[in-house]
Structure 1
Amino acid sequence: MSTPARQARKALGARLKGIRKDADLTGRALAAQAGWHPSLVSKIEHGAINISEDHVRKWCRVCDAEWERDDLIATVRSIDTMFMEWRRQLRSGTRQRQKLSSTFEAETNFFRVFEPLFIPGLLQTAEYAETMLAMTVDFHGLPNDTEAGVEARMFRQQVLYRGERKFHMVITQAALTIGVVPSHVTRGQLDRLLTLSSLPRLHLGIIPTRAPHKYFPLHGFWIMDDREVLFETISAEVKLTQSHEVAVYRRAFDRLAASAVYGSEARSLITQATEELASEI
């Protein structure tokens, strides 16, 4: 299966192939001048292997494309850090991962967050967080430190009240009632959302189920300033740092946010969801 990192390697390989062709060099000629085995050039151009910064430097020098070097090296670095398997991240439990989140959130001043199916971690109640983390522990077979993980997630939420940070968060109407947590936990979470919706630094948007969509909610993602994008897959967390990639996600966020309602309209949807859950009792 093609992963984001694999796709990024293939895109980098295609770019390097174009540079080689512009220099009117065969793969064998480039390899010979760089002192490599001939098969290495083919593997690089097909995205079959991770390459080093030294590979990029030699490629640009041989192809007389030094002006491309710095941007290509930045791409290599982003590929090295973009894909982290959950089992590797969480092998010591959920608490350490929450502490890591606190670190990079403390470095962020403007958060753009889109979550289509659940409440963002910074807005969760302890009971909601406990259910979500317990599910993660069970699915991945992790050390069960759910209680410590919840404590760390609650500590993370202090970022909501510190400094001059701003938060623009968008969720879907479905996220208000989807059964990822029990109904009684959801009701408490909705009460929490109503309280937080009046926080001046939080711009909370909810996309009504039947609202005209300007872009489809493919998956959740977090944009940290204009520095990086984080999103989760079933098996891993992906981090994107290339400026053009961040720009794509910023455009997607703007279109999703344009379909959302805010203020009293958003609070009405939360109240409506609360009433729907109450009717189930």
Structure 2
Amino acid sequence: MPSSPSSSAQAAREALAARLQHLRRDAGLTGKELSDQCGWHPAKTTRIQRAKITPSDADIRAWCAACNADNQVPDLIATARAVDSMYLEWRRLHSDGMKRVQEDWYMLHQQAGMCRTYVSNVVPGFFQTPAYATALMQSITDFQGTPNDVTDAVAARIARSRFLYEGVHRFVVLLEEWVLRSRIGGPETMAGQLRHLLTVMPLPSVSLGIIPFTAQRAVWPLEAFYAFDDRILVETLTAEINVAQPRELADYRKAFAALSEMAVYGDQARTLISSAIDALN
């Protein structure tokens, strides 16, 4: 797994590496001795201990066997899998198409009472129209070169919108004004998407704020992130990052609060959306 830009993932990987290193030292083994017993090159031991790679299940079993610490295997494997899930490359997630990931997001929304969302790139999935979602997901599939299941993936994504109308779910969304002006699909697709935003704004489950171009920036434009109750997911160009470190969780919450103060709501937000629709003509 490549080095993650998220300090949460890297900190967790380093903690796992430290535990393995302590096991080796407690067993009185040098790095070369452990490598010989595990049957791999000493460079691999070095990379694991420096948190450059996350060990596989088989690596952990071999390491613990060499250190006479088989009782540590279940916990270490669970820890390694948790680390691996913090940083997930899109190409890996989309290796069999996009539908499965959309179904996972459906479950997240189904289970969460509150979803706080900040987007600086595209309209969030639960607000998307089928035409907008199709244009967006087709471009992502083409860029990544992953299997094309866009039709099924779009259906799975649009299914999330039911939670806008059902149950006690709450969606607090912040959009940069640039999202309204960035054309995904043709003018008709974009106009339909913007009109849909006007439709969902009055829903009791929705709070939609738009950060104008002219807003005095207390927080610079950030990567898109989604806060589900006490869990935060960040979307970068190449990966989905699960933020787990308490300090980082606090930073994202602080950023969301500051971004909320920069946004406009109600009639002012509707004016910005209507202006974007007019600009398409």
| Range class of TM-score, shorter chain | 0.7 to 0.9
Structure 2: which amino acid aligns with 1:157?
A: S
Q: How far 1:77 moved relative to its partner?
A: 5.8
Report which stretch shifted further, 238-247 or 212-221.
238-247
2:14 counterpart of 1:13: yes
Q: CA RMSD in A?
A: 3.1
Checking the alignment, whether the CA contact within 8 Å between 1:129 and 1:150 is kept in structure 2 is: yes
Q: 2:188 aligns with which of 159, 184, 188?
A: 184
In the alignment, what sits opposite 1:205?
Answer: 209
Checking the alignment, whether the CA contact within 8 Å between 1:166 and 1:202 is kept in structure 2 is: yes
Q: How far 1:221 moved relative to its partner?
A: 0.6
Q: 1:152 to 1:80 in 2, by over 3 A?
A: same
2:143 counterpart of 1:142: no
Identity of aligned residues (%): 35
How far apart, in 2, do the equivalents of 1:146 and 1:14 lie? Answer: 39
In the alignment, what sits opposite 1:3?
Answer: 4
Checking the alignment, whether the CA contact within 8 Å between 2:234 and 2:240 is kept in structure 1 is: yes
TM-score (norm 2): 0.78
How far apart, in 1, do the equivalents of 2:77 and 2:252 lie? Answer: 22
How far apart, in 2, do the equivalents of 1:43 and 1:36 lie? Answer: 17
Report which stretch shifted further, 169-178 or 143-152.
143-152
How far apart, in 2, do the equivalents of 1:52 and 1:5 lie? Answer: 21
2:175 counterpart of 1:159: no
Written as runs of structure 1 = structure 2, the 5 A alignment for 1:169-180 is: 169-180=173-184
Aligned residues between the structures: 254
Checking the alignment, whether the CA contact within 8 Å between 1:75 and 1:242 is kept in structure 2 is: no
Q: Which runs of 5+ in 2 are unaligned?
A: 35-44, 65-74
Q: How far 1:200 moved relative to its partner?
A: 1.3
Checking the alignment, whether the CA contact within 8 Å between 2:235 and 2:241 is kept in structure 1 is: yes
TM-score (norm 1): 0.78
Checking the alignment, whether the CA contact within 8 Å between 2:31 and 2:46 is kept in structure 1 is: yes
Deviations 1:129-149 (A, max 9, x none): 000011111111222221111
How far apart, in 1, do the equivalents of 2:16 and 2:149 lie? Answer: 44
In the alignment, what sits opposite 1:79?
Answer: 83
Report which stretch shifted further, 94-103 or 121-130.
94-103
Structure 2: which amino acid aligns with 1:269?
A: L
